[in-house]
Amino acid sequence: MQPNLNKFLELGRPAWKEARATLQKLLSSAEPALQNNASLRQKALLPMDEVEMLLPIAIGDYTDFFSSMHHAKNCGTIFRGPENPINPNWFHLPIAYHGRASSIVISGTDIIRPRGQGHPSANSPPYFGPSRKLDFELEMAAVVGPGNELGKPIDVNEAADHIFGVVLMNDWSARDIQAWEYVPLGPFLGKSFGTTISPWIVTLDALEPFACDAPNQIPQPLPYLAEKVSKNYDISLEVRVKPAGQEESFTVTRSNFNHLYWTLTQQLAHHTINGCNLRPGDLLGTGTISGPEPESYGCLLELTWNGTKELSLGKTTRKFLEDGDEVIFSGCCKGNGYNVGFGTCSGKILPSLP
């Protein structure tokens, strides 16, 4: 008995395929092993309402990428203006930073509003207190399977064998804390207070029927990032917000995984090109997944254009998240007569501690 899936992830794709095929056979209508054995069914199948969801993996390290061109363009336009919204390096390599693995929590876990510093006003000292610009970020994350030895990069065309599957991820962001702290070294306290993932890992094998062409990358990536087959996945994503004190939730975003510019395999290959060693259970976030239309923007920073517009939620409005608000992500691949679901990734904001 193992406390998590890490040993299984380490076994690699042949073992994953065998386990998946075995489970599919046992659960098929043509297989009597479970159907005709009541005691075995009682041991093997549990009602959902009796199951406690836990983190499926022990996450040693967590990296967050910045791989959606639409998100990068919108953020750059908001903070730097429309002239040159995306830095030139963005089109040559998958930008990322190392996040905090200890604060990754399972869906349904409450998130306490973080406190920190914000931009000073005029000649005053920096603001300190509860974040005034708390946001969600619609992401997905790849779960690393077999890792690599220190000093030995993973070839981009073999990278898929090192990715077990993907989960939904909400990389909560305190925009005001981040804006004050991130120059020159990047995000820190504005991100490390909490990251929520869904409990269900959907394998790349399960996603294969939904593979689609990745965007044409201009300029051509350097040889170590040039893939023989460059693919994304058609995964419909939705964000709903349930405002504090209301029973109804409201859809604020409809996006798709296929909006990513840099593929999962390019992200993983780039991560290891300097010899960095990945390990089973490591998590690689995609970064916010935004589409080209306003209704497909993956965070409130974009949806409200950094608080300059209000987002309608039934009888109320939001610029950023308020205490008591709940954010629910869902994802689904729609096949011919069947769906591959990712479950939900949810969290509620609690007031800052005194």
Q: Give dist(CA 271, CA 313) in Å, integer.
A: 39
Which residue, 54, 58, 267, 287, is CA-closest to 163?
Answer: 267
71 is annotated as an active-site residue: yes
CA atoms within 13 A on the CB side of 105: 15
Helices then strands, counting H and E runs in the chain, come out as 9, 21
> For the chain, how are helix, strand and coil distributed in percent, rounded to 5?
25, 30, 45
User: Are 259 and 293 a contacting pair, CB within 8 Å?
Assistant: no
Residue type present at position 232: N
Integer Cα distance of 327 and 346 in angstroms: 6
Active-site residue, selected from the candidate residues 71, 162, 259, 271: 71
Question: What is d(CA 31, CA 115) in angstroms, rounded to the nearest whole number?
Answer: 55
Cα dihedral sign, 293-299-301-304: positive
Distance CA 113, CA 186 (A): 20
Residues designated catalytic? 71
